[in-house]
Structure 1
Amino acid sequence: MKMNLQNATKVALTSLLLCTTALVTSPAISVSATTSSHKSNWHTEKKWSKKLANAGYVFKLPNAQKGALYKNNGTSYSKNTLEKIINQNTLFKVKNVNVIHNGISVNLVSKDGKYKGYTTYVNAIYNKNLLNEDLQPLIKAELSVMHAKDNGKPTKKLLSRAETLAAGLTGQNRKIALTSIKQLKQFIKRGTMAETPVLLIGKYPGDLLNE
């Protein structure tokens, strides 16, 4: 995928608009049940899909208004069902990421297997670890690195700060942090949305939790 993120805001808004148009206002168009006439317009990003799938069941829907989950037949889960999913803190795993024109569709499955479908990447899921208090300094430091990269500013000192914070963590937090730092370095190198650290999904390119 060659999506350049030197201007992250522009890309995010473009992706959001295209995703919203394709998936929200026209829910009858299903990524998983696309007709043969539409197949040439989308493809699966295998590397990106694997990266998100390997994170496991760490993704959540933000709320019934901001998030949307469509069944694979193209119909939407009801607002009551979405509220139930959110109130029960249902966790999801990413099965794969599909690119439709310049938009993004993410196939999800819940941990209990009860809910399956697709949603958009930039405005409908977030990583539960964003709420981990012990990871807040690291998250802030990594975001500083990404914003510097987007604005063409030096990242070396900011990255060093993030690495120091990651090294100071312990247990599962340290494991999450070191994985995130590795992914952050890939973002610095390539600067595409696909290289966004999994930990920061929901905080970058837009802050879903504070909207």
Structure 2
Amino acid sequence: MVKNKFLIFISPMVLFLGFTCFINNASSNTKTKTVNEVHSRNFTKHLSKYKSLAKKLSKQGYVYCINKDADFGTNSYPVIPYSNKEKKLVVNKKVRFKVQHIWSYQNGMSVNLISKNKKYNSWVFFPTDLYNIHSKDRQLKPLVSFAKKIFYNKVKNNKYNLNKLSNMANKIKSDKERKLGEQFVSQFDYFLFKKNNFNTLPILLIGNLP
């Protein structure tokens, strides 16, 4: 699964520090702005930067839900935040959403989501405010949890644990979940050792880092 042993011991810490800072900066810089500031007309030119990522996520269909701490606002100008009552309802009922667009500015990113019943056409912050429903699956959740331990160096980032992650995916009984698990391991390897940015963030880690 991992061909270059040298990368195993050198790259992870660099990636860990770099990407963790990237996520934290994106979150902190965006959270300091009001919803209306983030989605003002001046931001429209920044839709193109992550167009390919938005397209990739959109193809997955209605597989995203809103995290309980999400900044959840309407797709309008100006953006109007949904009430806490409405957001709680969406979170508790696990309303399914599909990705439409990703909007970026400096270190801040937001994603435009539409619900399956078309009732909600909204914006939330990316990647913290949404999650892929499969990341909470009973068979896949342990895989995601162990990958996070590797990413945050809570277990040694070495060939043994990376192979363990792969074996965990291979042992999943359900064909559908096993395929998703194997895809996740492949994405995680690429993200960890070759190219780590929002475009390569493994699908099941969206909303699960930190």
* Bin of the TM-score, shorter chain as denominator length: 0.7 to 0.9
Q: For residues 13-24 of structure 1, what are the structure 2 equivalents within 5 Å?
A: 13-22=24-33
CA RMSD of aligned residues (A): 2.5
The match for 1:29 is: 37
Preserved contact between residue 46 and residue 103 of structure 2 (Cα < 8 Å): no
Is the aligned partner of 1:57 residue 2:62? Answer: yes
Distance 1:146 1:160, change over 3 A: same
Is the aligned partner of 1:99 residue 2:104? Answer: yes
Amino acid at match of 1:88: K
Q: Percent identity?
A: 25
SS at match of 1:194: coil
TM-score by length of 2: 0.79
Distance 1:160 1:166, change over 3 A: same
Is the aligned partner of 1:172 residue 2:176? Answer: yes
Which of 123, 128, 135 matches 1:130?
Answer: 135
Structure 1: where are the runs of 5+ without partners? 207-211
Q: Give the deviation of 1:30 after TM superposition.
A: 5.6
The match for 2:198 is: 193
Alpha-carbon separation, structure 1, partners of 2:183 and 2:23: 24
Alpha-carbon separation, structure 2, partners of 1:41 and 1:54: 21
Preserved contact between residue 57 and residue 111 of structure 1 (Cα < 8 Å): yes
Preserved contact between residue 5 and residue 11 of structure 1 (Cα < 8 Å): no
The match for 1:83 is: 88
Distance 1:39 1:112, change over 3 A: closer
Structure 2: where are the runs of 5+ without partners? 1-13
Alpha-carbon separation, structure 2, partners of 1:47 and 1:40: 15
Greater shift in the superposed pair: 100-109 or 170-179: 170-179
Aligned length: 192
The match for 1:9 is: 20
Alpha-carbon separation, structure 2, partners of 1:132 and 1:158: 22
Q: Give the deviation of 1:134 after TM superposition.
A: 1.6
